[in-house]
Chain A
């Protein structure tokens, strides 16, 4: 059974700093998803990583996938307040409902 963990669960950082959110999963998952949720809003897709070594970047966010280590990272460069949100990763199981979400990382970027 696929299980997905994230760390940290809470992250408070200053504007301009860099940080990485980690997403570990327990069994084979050949793709990995990252979603963003703003307070009081729904989830928005950020990245879909389809293969080992995949790297995708959008603005100050960069996501990568290492299927051998069962690890995905979401790197934040020079954080700005607008990035404050909860970030979820999700693995793709080969059965049933297919998506298994991590618990989320609540990011606060302080001025």
Chain B
């Protein structure tokens, strides 16, 4: 596609359930990022993938969060045993190469009840 695609756009789940968020970056983009944005707040870095290198997981808030990127393309962010404080917009971004400007997806609004 022409842009970064994220699905679902909205996800409502119950506390304790697992969720999977998907990101399909722009074709050919080697770098992929996940950020979290709480209401009215800035961007919180979660994880970064660059080519075939080991991902930078330094921003993941707990071991309930994990992400993978298959075949250097699609990425999935998984949150296990969701908590109410996980409620936020999860943004995915990609760039052609490292340190080039980011193209953001429209985000997934996660609500944990």
Contacts from A to B (Cβ < 8 Å): 31, 33, 35, 41-45, 48, 88, 92, 96-104
Contacts and interface: CB of A to CB of B under 8 A. Distances in A.
Given A31-B99, A103-B42, A104-B42, A96 B48 contact: yes
Given A42-B106, A43-B104, A97 B99 contact: no
Contacts of B31: 98
Interface residues of B, number: 23
Interface of B: 31, 33, 41-43, 45, 47-48, 56, 58-59, 91, 93, 98-107
Contacts of A44: 104
Given A31-B99, A43-B91, A92-B99, A97 B104 contact: no
Contact of A97 (B42, B56, B101, B103): B56
A45 B99 contact: no
Nearest to B107: A42
Max chain B Cβ within 10 angstroms of own Cβ: one of A42, A88, A97, A103: A97
24 contacts: A33-B102, A35-B104, A41-B106, A43-B93, A43-B102, A48-B100, A88-B43, A92-B99, A96-B56, A96-B58, A97-B33, A97-B45, A97-B47, A97-B48, A97-B58, A98-B31, A98-B48, A98-B98, A98-B99, A99-B33, A100-B45, A101-B45, A102-B42, A104-B42
Q: Is the interface of A mostly helix, strand, loop or mixed?
A: strand
A61 to B, nearest CB: 15
Contacts of A43: 43, 91, 93, 102, 104
B101 A45 contact: yes
Contacts of A100: 45
B56 to A, nearest CB: 5
Contacts of B103: 45
B104 A42 contact: yes
Nearest to B101: A45
Contacts of A101: 42-43, 45
Contacts of A31: 99
